[in-house]
């Protein structure tokens, strides 16, 4: 948890603000359900800027607002998105990380890579072991449409599920695209994306886009401070030091432009522009059944990694995101159909360690490659091994690779655990057996889970590491050296990476801040109850405060 005083958080809406107001009940049968995920949108970040929001985040925050949790330890994009519309923890979804080490093949596996397919562009939900709300919806209402759109393939695919009608994500140099393994890739699906991309690129070539405003808004200017992050000196100014000044010409497909497009406040509005056009093309909300539109917005994560979440860059992003979501909700209003919105995040995050330390946080950096290299060197010396016995560039998930000799594997594991426990950067170490046995009691509040139980919620016997490592609180994994390196991240089991807002909103609702902690796995069964769709086995619960009645 970020300490009090680190940031001046916006105050919660006080209970008296809604005294005497009666919330309009959830639509009896909404025609459109909209699920929004904002990548790396921690509850702390939401609260910090809450009082400044005037657009979509203001509107959504004035609905039924919970402090939510990603209950698992692997707080990354793919695992987090896998929980939102499945109602299951990563231990059940099988999505234990963005990338995991496969001991059988000796290779890393990307979470949305298609098993057994050599095509590097093949992407799909084949590694997702459970169904999603969209799958349930289509089972109950065969004429329902399910559409998922994101700046990231793994986000769009995890939200879209196994039976989506259209799944789109941004591919550098191409624009919005899809894969036949993620859903239909017929001309009816691909042609509109191609037309959008061509028009967008043509417009950019005529009028080069401004990735950042010429200067930060007044409210953000006090945050423009120079810092040394790791070995990387930055001015903290807006536009950022690396921001391109693009000129007419064929700059659109350049790698440097595509990189900086992601890490800019225009990427989310661009994504929402494509979402708007997809709504119109498919007439979402106007079909014979309830439609699902899933949207994941990626810029907050890209900007948080590249610049941290405590500077002027994130301040500009929060303003742009709020306004873009306001325009998007106005678009939904114009559909003139009953609709429901749920907004959350796949994980949280913390600021760059150096700036966090200026606010009283005992933050420090860990060089992950150096850490794992030192561990391997110690084990090789102890056992006379000629190759590294531990695989994994994430020091929190380590896999033993010393062949079929189980006795040697146990010795290496025990020695690795002993070495890790002596390291000052390490808070705790758990073996796979310990993690597998640590199922939390049914109904235990997500804010009360032990760290071991959090690891259990994202443990899969076939895909998780042999050793799970809890690094010290506020440890930042990564050492920036050069322009373009990430300065901040996430992925820990600590609350600043787990705690996210969960907001439900529909037209006519009255503000209702809720104090009880809930989980992202509660979203799917709640939406299912709202649209009267049967729910399979899930880890979450239906929220009566939202749905009114749960089956």
Active site positions, annotated:
77
- Provide the 10 A C-beta neighbour count for residue 241: 13
3-state class (DSSP) for residue 500: strand
Indicate the angle between helix axes 312-334 and 267-282, nearest 10 degrees: 10
Sequence-distant (6+) residues with CB within 8 A of 216 are 223, 224, 237, 238, 312, 315, 316
Torsion sign across C-alpha atoms 412, 413, 419, 423: positive
Q: Is the N-terminal amide bond of 84 cis, ω within 30° of 0?
A: no
337-376 exposure pattern, b = at least 16 Cβ within 10 A, e = fewer: bbbbbbbbbbbbbbbbbbbbeeeebebebbebeebbeebb
Q: CA-CA distance, 474 to 525, in Å (whole number)?
A: 33
User: Quick one: CA torsion of 238, 241, 246, 250, rounded to 10 degrees?
Assistant: -140
Distances (CA, A) of 334 to 282, 300, 337: 15, 27, 8
3-state class (DSSP) for residue 195: helix
Q: CA-CA distance, 50 to 212, in Å (whole number)?
A: 22
């Amino acid at each position: 948890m970020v300490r009090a005083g680190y940031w001046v958080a916006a105050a919660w809406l006080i209970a008296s603000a809604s005294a005497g107001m009666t919330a309009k009940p959830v639509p009896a049968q909404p025609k459109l359900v909209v699920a929004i995920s904002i990548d790396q949108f921690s509850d702390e970040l939401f609260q910090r800027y809450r009082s400044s929001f005037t657009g979509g985040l203001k509107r959504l925050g004035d609905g039924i607002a919970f402090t939510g949790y990603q209950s698992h330890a692997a707080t990354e994009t793919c695992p987090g998105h896998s929980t939102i519309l499945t109602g299951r923890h990563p231990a059940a979804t099988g999505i234990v990380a963005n990338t995991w080490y496969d001991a059988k093949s000796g290779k890393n596996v990307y979470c949305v890579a298609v098993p057994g397919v050599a095509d590097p562009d093949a992407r799909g939900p084949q590694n997702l072991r459970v169904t999603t709300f969209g799958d349930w919806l289509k089972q109950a209402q065969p004429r329902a449409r399910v559409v998922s759109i994101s700046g990231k393939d793994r986000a769009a695919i995890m939200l879209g599920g196994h039976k989506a009608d259209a799944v789109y994500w941004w591919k550098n140099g191409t624009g919005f695209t899809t894969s036949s393994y993620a859903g239909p890739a017929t001309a009816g699906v691909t042609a509109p994306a191609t037309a959008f991309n061509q028009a967008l690129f043509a417009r950019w070539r005529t009028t080069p886009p401004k990735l950042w405003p010429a200067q930060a808004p007044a409210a953000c200017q006090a945050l423009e401070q120079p810092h040394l992050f790791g070995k990387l000196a930055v001015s903290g100014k807006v536009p950022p030091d690396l921001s391109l000044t693009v000129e007419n010409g064929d700059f659109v497909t350049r790698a440097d432009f595509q990189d900086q497009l992601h890490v800019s406040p225009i990427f989310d509005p661009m994504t929402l522009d494509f979402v708007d056009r997809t709504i119109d093309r498919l007439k979402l909300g106007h079909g014979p059944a309830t439609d699902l539109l899933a949207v994941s917005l990626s810029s907050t994560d890209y900007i948080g990694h590249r610049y941290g979440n405590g500077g002027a860059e994130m301040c500009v992003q929060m303003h742009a995101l709020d306004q873009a979501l306001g325009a998007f909700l106005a678009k939904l209003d114009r559909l003139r159909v009953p609709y429901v919105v749920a907004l959350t995040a796949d994980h949280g995050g913390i600021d760059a360690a150096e700036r966090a330390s200026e606010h009283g946080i005992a933050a420090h950096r860990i060089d992950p490659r150096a850490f794992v290299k030192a561990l391997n060197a110690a084990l090789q010396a102890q056992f006379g091994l000629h190759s590294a016995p531990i695989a994994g560039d994430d020091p929190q998930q380590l896999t033993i690779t010393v062949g079929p000799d189980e006795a040697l594997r146990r010795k290496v594991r025990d020695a690795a655990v002993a070495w890790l426990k002596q390291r000052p950067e390490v808070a705790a170490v758990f073996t796979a057996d310990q993690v597998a046995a640590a199922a939390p009691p049914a109904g235990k509040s997500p804010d009360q889970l032990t760290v071991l139980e959090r690891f259990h919620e994202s443990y899969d016997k076939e895909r998780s590491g042999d050793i799970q490592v809890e690094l010290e609180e506020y440890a930042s994994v990564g050492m920036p050296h050069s322009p373009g390196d990430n300065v901040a991240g996430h992925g820990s089991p600590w609350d600043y990476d787990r705690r996210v807002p969960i907001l439900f909103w529909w037209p006519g609702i009255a503000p209702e801040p809720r104090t009880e902690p809930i989980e992202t796995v509660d979203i799917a069964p709640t939406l299912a109850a709202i649209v009267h769709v049967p729910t399979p086995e899930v880890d979450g619960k239906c929220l009566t405060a939202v749905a009114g009645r749960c089956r």
